[in-house]
Amino acid sequence: MGIRLADYEEIVGREVIHEMYVLAERVKSRRLQNINSTPVGGGVAEILTRMIPLLRELGIEATWDVIKGDQGFYNVTKAFHNALHGKREEVTDQMLDVFRATTEANLRDMSISGDVVLVHDPQPAGLIDRKREIGRQWLWRCHIDVSAPDARVWEFLRPYVEQYDAAVFSMPDFAQHLPIPQYMVAPSIDPLADKNRELTPACVSQVLEKYQLDPERPIVTQISRFDRLKDPLGVIAAYKMVKRRHDCQLVLAGGGASDDPEGEEVLREVEQQAAGDRDIHILLLPPFSDLEINALVRGSTVVFQKSIKEGFGLTVSEALWKRKPVIGGAVGGIKLQVINGVTGFLVHSPEGAAKRLAQLLGDRALRARLGENGYQHVKQNFLLTRHVKDYMLVMLALDHPDEDVVHLE
Ligand code: UDP
């Protein structure tokens, strides 16, 4: 039998589950249709996979559809993604035309079945054009760090975004000047998913052995798509600085996402940098390697998420939940999760990362303290139950557009 809402009671307490049912009573008459651009790979797909069954158990008819696009479209939207993160990208008129054409095709082919249509990220944002014709409530859910977006891309997207009934961002830093309400909802991890649930030591050992990792020596890990914004080369640089004095092994584990065309090129750069060092393990994991990722993190001494830009970084909460100290880039949503000196360390450079890695490798008590704090921090703030509750609150707010406070009788 699958996981039930009641199974979360043991972790989050009865009260939280009760509140979810109270809220669901107010919103469950509506169909909630999620639309994004990839069924697998990356944080959005990860969250939707876990969230839809819980919403359904609460009586909300939640569905999930994926837009169609070809390689040309995903090259354009990846450039948009990078540009919205503030990276310099050349965006031509022709690229904007590709975006418009794919949007047109999806507008023709996609059936909009939801009473509330929850559109994730820029790729499907143009579907809002359907609103004029069919009405419904439309929410744009932005998972990207848009605190300093490339002006051209943001101004191109803005007319779409402004037509939504509301926008949802992961943290206040990402809020925009928009004429529509904006809600702040942090992402979450599922503590009962294969990626996060408790594992036996034997299961962890088996996976370490499979990948020829030595359990007796420290293991430092980053789990990420091979994407420049995740800075895998910075991780290797930090590891190399530390390796001279502290023995350790480095794991860079990642797969691809179907809407990310850059992965292979970045992987080649990573392989070049790692060449000749038998202690650097580059693992290309197929989709649905959740148990293995879980075991790799549980078998690690320290976890990196050294991103240069990051909307949230589910991998951070995934590691903190396993009581691992995290060294994270001091950017975007990582700052919500890594409280410097409390749940891990925030860094600004490979040198900074190296310094913190050396410190953590040399201090078991510090690792244990940060790990415990991290677990508590995730338990309070970044579990799926809180996330589902927040979405129900946003649905409720959509029904009361002119009220600052919605009273639940
Ligand atoms: N992930 C995975 N396999 C991989 C790399 C990442 O399953 O090879 C998962 C990772 O554990 C996390 C999600 O994909 O749950 C990535 O989400 P995150 O927010 O960290 O980054 P994004 O890829 O969305 O930028």
The tokens describing 154, both together, are 């943001």
Q: What is residue 25's three-state secondary structure?
A: helix
Q: How many CB atoms lie within 10 A of CB 28?
A: 18
Kindly list the protein residues whose Cβ atom lies closer than 6 A to any atom of ligand 1. Answer: 42-43, 46, 195, 223-225, 253-255, 285, 289, 293, 312-315, 318
Question: What does R_g of the chain's alpha carbons equal in angstroms?
Answer: 21
Strands (E), 311-371: 326-329, 344-347
All structural domains of the chain: 5-188+383-398 (3.40.50.2000), 201-381 (3.40.50.2000)
> pLDDT-based confidence at 247, cuts 50/70/90?
very high
Residue the block writes with tokens 């037509």: 163
270 in Cβ contact with 233 (< 8 Å):
yes
Distance 236 CA to ligand 1 centre (A): 19
* Mean pLDDT score, 366-379: 98
Distance 317 CA to ligand 1 centre (A): 11
User: What's the CA gap between 132 and 141, in Å, rounded?
Assistant: 19
Of residues 99 and 2, which shows the higher confidence score? 99
Pocket test for ligand 1, best of 123, 224, 235, 326 (most atoms within 8 A of CB): 224
164 in Cβ contact with 140 (< 8 Å):
yes
Q: What's the mean pLDDT when you consider all of the chain?
A: 96
> pLDDT-based confidence at 315, cuts 50/70/90?
very high
Distance 46 CA to ligand 1 centre (A): 7
Which residues are registered as beta bridge partners of 228? Answer: none
* Mean pLDDT score, 135-139: 97
Q: What are phi and psi of 142, to 5 degrees?
A: -100, 120
Ranking 32-46, 92-106, 354-368, 395-409 by mean pLDDT, the lowest is: 395-409
Give me the sign of the Cα torsion angle 328, 217, 270, 78.
negative
* Mean pLDDT score, 109-138: 97
Each residue of 37-55: pLDDT tens digit? 999 888 899 999 999 999 9
Q: What is the predicted pLDDT for the residue at 257?
A: 67
